[in-house]
Amino acid sequence: QLLVVTGVKPVTEALKLEATGVELRAGGFVKVDECLRTTCDGIWCFGDMAGNYLFRHCANFEGEYLLEHVLHPLKETGQVPKEYPAIDYTGMPYAVFSNPQVAGVGLTEEECTAQGLSFVKGVNPYAKSAMGDARLSDHGFAKLLIEVGTRKIL
């Protein structure tokens, strides 16, 4: 089996962003800060053009974040708040709808180890899960990382 992932390249040239003061970062994505603000005051960017996580559910999440922290306050008060919390991608899921499918959420084993977290790992064959059984799958697995002491799913 072979999975070929060629990457994503944004098409930003036609937008003529240089006329707005919006800067691009490496790879052609729009440069944004931790609140999705661009380098031009009053312009925000989210989704694939921001290049944070190139998944539809991330674009939805970022859009909801901007609604809550920028557009709703603007509608209610006529002003955008000067300060608001940075977007928090903790728990941002990802999925590649290939065969086999690849998905994940949370920290990896490597990230847990690098952060000095004490954790246990549970691995179960995908075939033993409800979806794996329904699909008659003979490959794959589901893995959980649990923090020792707190029992928090990492």
pLDDT tens profile 89-104: 988 888 888 777 889 9
Is the confidence at residue 136, as pLDDT, over 70? yes
**How does pLDDT run across 3-62, given as a tens digit for each residue?**
677 778 888 888 889 899 999 998 899 999 999 999 999 999 999 999 998 888 899 999
Residue 41 CA to residue 111 CA, distance in Å, equals 35
What pLDDT does residue 36 have?
98
Q: Is the pTM higher than 0.85?
A: no
